[in-house]
Amino acid sequence: MIIGSKERLPILASDREEKFPVLPLRTGVLFPGMMLTIQVGRHDNLLLIEQSKSGKKQFIASYSPPRYSESEPAPIHQVGVLAVVRDIRPGPGNSEIVTIEGIKRIVISKIVQTKPYIVAAANYLQPHDKASRNVQVKMDEVMSVVKEITGLDPTYSPEQLNVLKMNRDEHSLAADMVASTYHFPLEAKQDLLETVNLELRFERLLNYLNAELSRVVTAHNINANVQKNIEEEQKRHFLRQQLHEIRKLLGEDFAEEKEAARIRNIIKNTPNMPPEVVARGTIEADRLSQLSTASAEYGVTKNYLDWLLALPWGKCKPEDYSMSEVEKVLSTEYYGPVSLKEQILQRLSVRKLLGGVNEGPTLCLIGAHGTGIAAIAKAIAKAMGKEFIRISVGGISEVSEIKGMPRTFLGAMPGKIIRALRDAGTCDPVMLIEDIDYFNIENDSSVNMALLEAIDNRVNSRFLDNYIGVPFDLSKVVFICSVRSYEEIPEQFIPRFEIIELPGYIEKEKIVITKRYIIPKLLKKHGITKTELKFTDRILARIINHYTMEAGLLGLSQQLEKICRKVALEKVSKRRKSWSMTERNLETYLGPPVYIPEKAEIQPEIGIAAGLAWTGAGGDLMFIEGLKMKGEGQIFTTGSLGEVMKESIQAAYSYVRSKADMLGIDFGDFSDFDVHIHFPSGAIPKDGPSAGVTVCLVIASVMAERPIRNDIAMTGEITLRGKVLSVGGIKEKVSAAFRAGIYNVAIPKENQKDLKDLPKEILRKTKFTLIERVDDLFELCLLDFTPSSYTLEKIFQEEIKKAKKKKPRATKSKTKAAKPKSKK
């Protein structure tokens, strides 16, 4: 197959066509006047070379692009070069290395035969016209470009430029010489071979030369940059070696290089270290090796690397704990509500199923000091087999204290979270964060968000400390926060917290916890044995009631510690060998009682009722007093009351006025008398609606002049319609009544479910009255109260309903119902 030329060819007119053998060229293009060395391996081509080796028999050398299979004849270009063989040498295998020389261009018209090799009929081309001035100008441009290429690329011999200058008058030969010598694509060379017109050939030759020049310039720049870098590296290495020899002569010990090598070894041998940490550590170690130990930057870099390598990257303990064992440990180490333990077991079950990752909200425990928050956190850590960390964030007001300070600042160091993990040596400890209520007093939202970024399980898998500079995974840390009350939790934290309230301990629970946990720990701490110092339940109850007023056990522990210190002094002085606390000698160790518990009144009185209150110290008995006096129908309140409590008093007063008929109160009394309500302990602020039923009873008592039972305590919120609503802290309130010797308690009916949390002893001895309306409380607590008018009023209303159905009997029923009222 013949590949036709794209150009119009000036074929020399002739009467006959000459026939020549054709040698297809795959690896090069032969130009007239040029030599080309090729490797011939095909049988038909070897036969052609064998017949032409004398150098006298001519053949056509035509470029054959590699687009055919071995079984098909090779396609050849229409324009080739008439050539002769100049040299033959044996090649590898059965091939031969042949050097051929081109004589002149020739045009193949048709293929005559293909066996034993290709034979084609061909025509000669017309001779070139005289070169024009444009050809001479382009020849000069070619020479200029060739000079540039030769100067930049060492692969081109400078002699080629000289040879080209010697043949600059032979324009066609010079163009063919450049096309043959320089590294053009084979298709480009064939294009130049087929271009017979000199002016067009030089134009295309310039285009190809400019492309080659661009390639050569790019390669030269790359090589120059590489050479420059190599020279700089060699220079640094040479100077480093000189410095090494100088320091060696001065007797220096190369401490920075040894330290850098040690750090690289630690990085290499530390498993589970993230790739970004490895990269940062390697860079800093290389910098350290270049610094002098006397420079300030050396100390900063060394300190940073110490922190980076000391962190527990990927050091986690397996989640192989069993839930039965966890439940057993929680029951042994912590004495508290069963519901709290169940919630913790549920959270740990989810964590175990997820392979140690926390997906839910952060646990927040609300309770007063000494209510066992730290104890439950320690129990969780022990049950899971994790390290326990306890940190306080109280007083923190800057982001840098949470997320660290950048290394560029003097005295910079990581934040509190990262420092705690470094001390723990593991990336999955149980971390108790205390004093959230004292955190960020100025309420700077950026500080709140910094802490939330650390403890929020949604985003803390890549927590970025400003000092460390690379993310640290906090998603496996079990964060537990603690706060005293719900109102003191920062606003940004509430949506991401699972809040669990820890109720205060009652007296019975305090005694059990003290004997089981606190006393053995204090005895061991002070070097006293169990047989040397003994406490009875009665003595512990006296200390709880007369020397402490708290919901937790912190104050009780401090009082017992005072006793232990005095006993330790007596033991060292060898005054006694055993001690037993009694009511007689208790004041010797603790002094006179600090608190006097409230007790029930000796007899019923008008205008005084026992209310139940919940405070930060637990449940308390509060006697609410009231009296009436001549006035203008006003109501006065004293006792440091809050707005909610004042509104509750006003609602109670209005309800009593609405029930004046039922209570037997003259309506004129409400305008002729003032009522004064007083809450004791005026120095202590009080607020809340739970004293509503008690206040209502006191107002009814003073206005109706009926005494109130002294053996009953009550709590509940009231509405203007007389309904009693549920309140909180039932467990603590009932326990306060029990301590005061009051075994009758009135509570809202809706709070019946809260009685299950009370100890069995209180449930057995206390009688509970569930009230839905205040009217029930009047009948229960007011002495000499018979709601006859109330009963007649109900009868009266029923008779009216009957009268609507039976009109003749309506007047009689109404008259009969009114007679008892007129007699009264």
Task: Point out the residues that are catalytic.
Answer: 690, 733
Q: Are strands 119-124 and 673-678 parallel, antiparallel or unpaired?
A: unpaired
Q: Beta partners for 365?
A: 482, 500
Sheet holding 478-483, edge to edge: 388-392, 430-434, 478-483, 362-366, 497-501
CB-CB neighbours of 4 under 10 Å? 11
Using DSSP, state whether 6 is helix, strand or coil: coil
Segment 755-763 long-range contacts (CB within 8 Å, at least 24 positions apart): 755/730, 757/337, 757/503, 757/730, 757/731, 758/731, 758/734, 759/506, 759/508, 759/509, 761/508, 762/506, 762/508, 762/734, 762/735, 762/738
- DSSP per position, 590-641: H-S-S-------SS-BTTEEEEEEEETTEEEEEEEEEEEEESSS-EEEESSB
Residue 549 is which amino acid? M
Q: Are 102 and 82 in contact (CB under 8 A)?
A: yes
Q: What single DSSP character describes residue 492?
A: T
∠ CA 381-359-328 to the nearest 5 degrees? 30
If we measure between CA atoms, which residue out of 598, 593, 718 comes closest to residue 651? 718
CB-CB neighbours of 770 under 10 Å? 14
Q: Report the interhelical angle of 171-181 vs 186-194 (nearest 10°).
A: 170
- Which residues, in sequence order, are CB contacts of 340 under 8 Å at separation 6+? 376, 500, 502
Q: Are 317 and 386 in contact (CB under 8 A)?
A: yes
- What's the 3-state SS for 295-308? CHHHHHHHHHHHHH
Let me know how long the chain is.
824
C-alpha span between 143 and 137 (Å, rounded): 10
